Structure 1
Amino acid sequence: MNKIILIFLTVFCATSLFSQAPTISDIKFEGLKKTKEQILLRVIQIEKGEELKLSKLEQDIIQLKRLPAISHAYYKIKNVDSSNCIVTFHVEENFTIIPEVNIWTTTNRRLAYKLGVYDYNFLGRNIGIGGFYQQNGFDSYGFNFRAPMLFSRTLGLAFNHQNWSSEEPLYFGDNSANYKYQNISYELLLLYRINFKHNVDFGINLFNEKYTYLNGHTADGVPQQLDLNKKLLKFVYTYDDLNYFYHYVEGFKSQLYGQYVTTVNEYQNDFFIAWNDAFYFKRIGEKGNWANRLRVGLSTNEESPFAPFALDNNVNLRGVGILVDRGTGSIVWNTEYRHTLYEKKWFVLQGNVFTDFGTWRTPGGSLKDFVKSENVRVYSGLGLRFISKKIFNAVFRIDYGYGITPSSSSSGLVFGIGQYF
């Protein structure tokens, strides 16, 4: 009997020893060209000297593929001996210095253009930096800096400066007028990564807004000149559970934006604005991707032509036109099916069919505005995507949207860089 017990204990101890996870003795990266290894060691969760956990490794792969510098990544485990192993991450880097060239027509059919450049992996340290110049009848420029791991693996900083001018329509009743709008802003944000899925950005934006009447309808109580100094407190919470395989995406993501704006003038009071973008992506077969974005937003409900939510081609409804209307509330659902038509090494041609649903609350209106037929617009259409698998966000898109509800009488082409959402 004692021999049986001794044999059982020996087998049990041997099995336990064999099944014990090895210790990580070294972490290596292969395929790096520009990106610094120490930055990626900040991104991943596993560390030297700790027990190997495959669940952590899988999360690290997802986190690496979310970086602008990385187009694809996978890992290999090499056993050194019975109790130690080496983890090697194999990465494929993106080209991250991206020029921006946009050409379009303004509200008065004037030809406009925007030129810029942005490096999403400056100095190989996962820092985004860049700027632009725009000419649309007025001169505009901007500068952006974003370093999510500037101070530590969880704490970073962003700084943005913009001097923006454009001709914009303002709506009051059934009439409208064109104004020159200028916004000069300085923004400073702290970036905090709570964990693998949760991030928070918060900070302040100091800006000056000017409105100058150009032409169109005038009305009592609507000023022809405004010069306002404002402060904006910003908060952004992101839940990110997306997984990428080159141009395919799967999972759920939610971004909540909150802004409180303070100002002192007789035409605008302090106001609050918040909106949430919920994204859902689903792989369908080997070549299909179903993509969805639901945006729900509300702001302080004042009867003013300066309402913050805009109805626009490039923001929410493809085919509706440029700055068609404004509101103090917005509900928009964009849904599309993307299908890979052709793929060869670095190049992908993708087709899509989409439908964009939108409804607005008019300035000073009620929540019932969301279900009024005159405020509901639906557009549907087809598009193409020209994608490079080796350049970050190198997606040239073209969509044609057509209105299919009585209040959606327009149609048109929409061009852009990057997926629509």
Structure 2
Amino acid sequence: MASICNSYIFRIINKKRPPAGLFLCLIFYLSPGFGQKSDSYNPIISAIEFQGLQKTKQDILEREIQHPLNMALDSSLTEEDRNRLENLGIFSAVTWNTVPLEDGTAILNFRVIESISMVPIFSPVYDENIGWFLILGAMLNNFRGRNEKLTLRGMFGNVSAYDVIFKNPWVFGDHVSLAFDFSKKIFEHYFLPYRQQTQVFEINIGRYFGYERRLTAGIELEKKEYFGDDTTDFYYFSPELSAVYDTRDIYNDPSKGMYI
């Protein structure tokens, strides 16, 4: 069509008469998309695949994906899916691309790079009331490949203690989470002639209401015992409730949204 229009315009200049089809050519020339190739590529997505998984179970990623199958590619929805995968906190990089198939459809492919799953804990600590003690342990991120977090810590020196923290952000349903913390600590009391032992157990259950609202409820049980000439113990019970409104696109480095 472009060569035909050029031929018509050349005739106008040389013969000074309007040939047939002139106005049609002018319409094509003035059209914004004339002579340009469209960059849009919106194939029907027939499958969704994941690459780069080494430890993580595939269903942990599948439950975060909202892009439907057998529908045209929606890049904005795909970016939201990518952000949700990154917000899991177990990948150092998440990218996506499409793989064309012979039947004209395409595979939506997410490529991930898993982060380090174990972080050792080694920290000497000095406290004015207790003195020196050493903290040893490990933080296991993506425990069992199911995005669970497990922390094991022990204290040695003027304090004898251990701490076990576990969190599963999605046990069942719509992001129903479970977290618990159990700790035990023994040390000489700061100013009383007693040896103090403190045991704490805390459990929390949370749930998403959409991807922006989260509610968590739980209880904390604490027992304090004092050993000396006589033995005294105290029990504490504390209910806990928290609500979060979070519209950040990326939790670690958001470009938009808010957190309350």
TM-score when scaled to structure 1? Answer: 0.45
Amino acid at match of 1:202: A
Residue 124 in 1 paired to residue 139 in 2? no
Residue pairs, 1:343-358, within 5 angstroms: none
Q: RCO higher in 1 or 2 (8 Å CA, sep ≥ 6)?
A: 2
2:182 — aligned with what? 161
Q: CA–CA distance in 1 between the matches of 2:98 and 2:54?
A: 22
Q: Secondary structure at the match of 2:56?
A: coil
> Could you tell me which amino acid in structure 2 is paired with residue 195 of structure 1?
G
Structure 2 residue aligned with 1:149: 170
2:223 to 185, 205, 208: 208
Higher mean C-alpha displacement, 80-89 vs 65-74? 80-89
Does the CA-based 8 Å contact 2:130-2:188 persist in structure 1? no
* Residue aligning to 1:229: 235
> Does residue 204 of structure 2 align to residue 189 of structure 1?
yes
Q: Tell me if 1:37 matches 2:68.
A: no
**Where in structure 2 are there 5+ consecutive unaligned residues?**
1-39
Checking the alignment, whether the CA contact within 8 Å between 1:159 and 1:189 is kept in structure 2 is yes
Aligned position for 2:123: 102
Counterpart of 1:349 in structure 2 is none
Q: CA deviation at 1:60?
A: 1.6
- Conserved? CA contact 2:130–2:159, under 8 Å: no
Unpaired runs of 5+ in structure 1? 1-18, 170-176, 214-224, 256-421
Deviation at 1:126, TM superposition (A): 0.6
CA contact (8 A) 1:118 1:128 kept: yes
- In 2, the alpha carbon distance for the partners of 1:76 and 1:153 equals 27
1:165 shift after superposition: 4.3
Aligned twin of 2:244: 238
Higher strand share: 1
Kindly provide the CA deviation profile for residues 211-248 of structure 1, in whole angstroms up to 9, marking residues without a partner as x. 789xxxxxxxxxxx973212121122233315268xx5
Contact 1:136 1:166 in 2 (8 A): no
Shift of the 44–180 alpha-carbon distance from structure 1 to 2, 3 Å rule, reads farther
Which deviates more, 48-57 or 121-130? 48-57
Alignment partner, residue 343 of structure 1: none
Structure 1 pair 134/42, CA: closer, same or farther in 2 (3 Å)?
Answer: same
Cα deviation 1:322-360 (Å, max 9, x = unaligned): xxxxxxxxxxxxxxxxxxxxxxxxxxxxxxxxxxxxxxx
Q: 1:185 to 1:109 in 2, by over 3 A?
A: closer
Whether the 8 Å CA contact 1:63–1:196 is kept in 2: the answer is: no
- The percentage of aligned residue pairs carrying the same residue is 25
Offset of residue 167 of structure 1: 6.8
How much does 1:138 deviate? 2.1
CA pair 132-89 structure 1, distance change in 2 beyond 3 A: same
2:161 counterpart (140, 161, 180): 140
Native 8 Å contact 1:158 1:190 kept in 2: yes
TM-fit CA distance, 1:64: 1.4
Quote how far apart the aligned CAs of 1:107 are: 0.9
Q: 1:60 aligns with which of 66, 75, 81?
A: 81
Q: Which protein has the larger Cα radius of gyration, Structure 1 or Structure 2?
A: 2
Equivalent residue, structure 2, for 1:377: none
Q: Per-residue deviation at 1:202?
A: 1.5
